[in-house]
Structure 1
């Protein structure tokens, strides 16, 4: 069959529809992947609600989905590294002429029965790792991994804080535990999210509305404060609060996306303490994905509990509604075409 189903977002109207479209054919240097699982991310919801807008999209409609796993269905001319039937995880983006394009944002992604990828923008998925877990690693896991190990440069025994224990933040807690950060303090207004953070390895889980938060952080860190604080919520108030509990030379790493301005209330104190604010986006896929897959395959990390539910592609809009509703507080929803 040369037709397939895909969840397509019309950008001008922000309308998401399941459509029957022509199945793409791999060109030179490309592979066609039969999608087995595709994650539903808050970034997808932001694209739909208009908070995010593609900057590099050719046209006005895109197939969503940047967290994708599947099997090679067909290879294009010149592709020798891959063969039909191999299990793969796709990078969340590709570099073209020195510019990074995000899958499912700037070009068609994996909320479809089939999707295209450059032959250099994917990695093999070990047989021991289910497609659902493999699919979420390119963003929900690799983004906090890059934020922690590269941008934040967290070292063993450093005190850290994680604001927002959702789909990325809860994985950040797991990863910080794995590299030996201590203590790990999670901050989230949701009691469910705080419990989830403790289960994932946080030493403390605090409500941001707690008037004693600063004192609690000080007590847990021997009075020094946090060496690194990670904002996974993308909320200005979170960033302002995190700055108040940073240690001298502490780093605030901004991972959550927002178009709202950041305010440094006490600029003199910030400069005197030589603190830093660092922006973070995505990860170095060729490095991060193999590292994380190796850690999962060896049993050092397990993301089975991160798959809150698996829904058919036809229910893509419902999956986004569930994510936006927050009452069930899912970590990751996955679509199966």
Structure 2
């Protein structure tokens, strides 16, 4: 796997040849491009398992790159998976955070139409540039070794973030940047999962796990015309929220009557599509068993659990399909900005809290303990 392990470029890279004027500017905390010399960033030491907010150099854009001043960045369950070691580290030290929005601060040569002051949301990955798909011009949407922000290269739990110009989507003034940040994964990943499922109008849907991904899946499947929509979560508050956001039914998956209730809701046919946003053995098994003939189960959640489909006869006879899903394509993110700007998708209730960067560990604690049943906790550097 190709990793983007390039060192952060700073104004000090050519310090030996810099003149006294440049040195004075750097000492004053500014350089000719208008960016400060240093910034605050949360740095995760993968060997020590520690996360600390530190002063680090501000990145400088190279060819085709853009530096964005971060307005907001979400704390995602996959961030916790990296912090807990469930996702193997790619870099020895990395800045987490892959759900970000902000304002363009500086652009490199060949960065297209982007200019300082543009409001943007960042796609959470970039093409590797070396795989067969990239060599034949496929780019981010078809890359076979996609480089993921906050895992393969530094993310946006920081005041500034460096990204490829191809990863940006413009955000109109009518969409708050905090809402735009939520779109970048918490909404776009479930939207991409709907595409993966090839969901059609009037198909029945079950959503297991009503955190950030599952809650937005309920909203999005409603927008896409699914019927009925069944939301499943052990927490009563999560089920009530799902009903308010468009679910037709909300069930407790730990209730012994749930299997029969799912059959009743679907008229005995079973679900057309099930989305497992939990990824654990019980949710996977229950979701697969709830499928009807030719039903599709889409795995969205991440966990270390080994998963098995059960007896082959049951699986094959019913022609079930299990599909793994990760991330989204740039057109998905662009679609969601359009839907939000037009008022077709309301995510105003998705921002559960906004914390300063220095309180990143408090935000992680709240998500880990599900304090207040959060959809998305944002950091504001």
Is TM > 0.5 for Structure 1 vs Structure 2? yes
- Partners of 2:64 and 2:112 within 8 A in 1: no
**What is the TM-score of this pair, normalised by structure 1?**
0.97
3-state SS of paired residue (1:274): coil
Q: How does 1:230-269 map to 2 (within 5 A)?
A: 230-269=275-314
Q: How does 1:119-198 map to 2 (within 5 A)?
A: 119-148=165-194, 150-198=195-243
1:306 aligns with 2:336: no
- The aligned residue for residue 30 of structure 1 is 65
Alpha-carbon distance in structure 1 between the residues aligned to 2:280 and 2:373: 18
3-state SS of paired residue (2:127): strand
**What is the TM-score of this pair, normalised by structure 2?**
0.86
- Partners of 2:355 and 2:377 within 8 A in 1: yes
3-state SS of paired residue (1:120): helix
1:82 equivalent among 101, 114, 127? 114
Alpha-carbon distance in structure 2 between the residues aligned to 1:238 and 1:330: 20
Alpha-carbon distance in structure 2 between the residues aligned to 1:317 and 1:101: 25
Alpha-carbon distance in structure 2 between the residues aligned to 1:180 and 1:267: 32
Alpha-carbon distance in structure 2 between the residues aligned to 1:324 and 1:215: 32
- TM superposition shift of 1:79: 2.2
Deviations 1:45-99 (A, max 9, x none): 1111111123xx3x40000100010001011122231010000000011112232
- The structure with the greater share of residues assigned to strand is 1
1:213 equivalent among 248, 253, 258? 258
- TM superposition shift of 1:213: 0.9
Alpha-carbon distance in structure 2 between the residues aligned to 1:79 and 1:273: 50
3-state SS of paired residue (2:43): strand
Gaps of 5+ in 2: 1-28, 30-36, 132-144
3-state SS of paired residue (1:96): coil
Alpha-carbon distance in structure 1 between the residues aligned to 2:324 and 2:166: 26
Alpha-carbon distance in structure 2 between the residues aligned to 1:176 and 1:138: 18
3-state SS of paired residue (1:71): strand
Alpha-carbon distance in structure 2 between the residues aligned to 1:210 and 1:42: 25
1:103 aligns with 2:149: yes
1:9 aligns with 2:44: yes
Gaps of 5+ in 1: none
1:67 aligns with 2:67: no
Alpha-carbon distance in structure 2 between the residues aligned to 1:14 and 1:241: 34
3-state SS of paired residue (1:168): helix
Alpha-carbon distance in structure 2 between the residues aligned to 1:244 and 1:21: 50
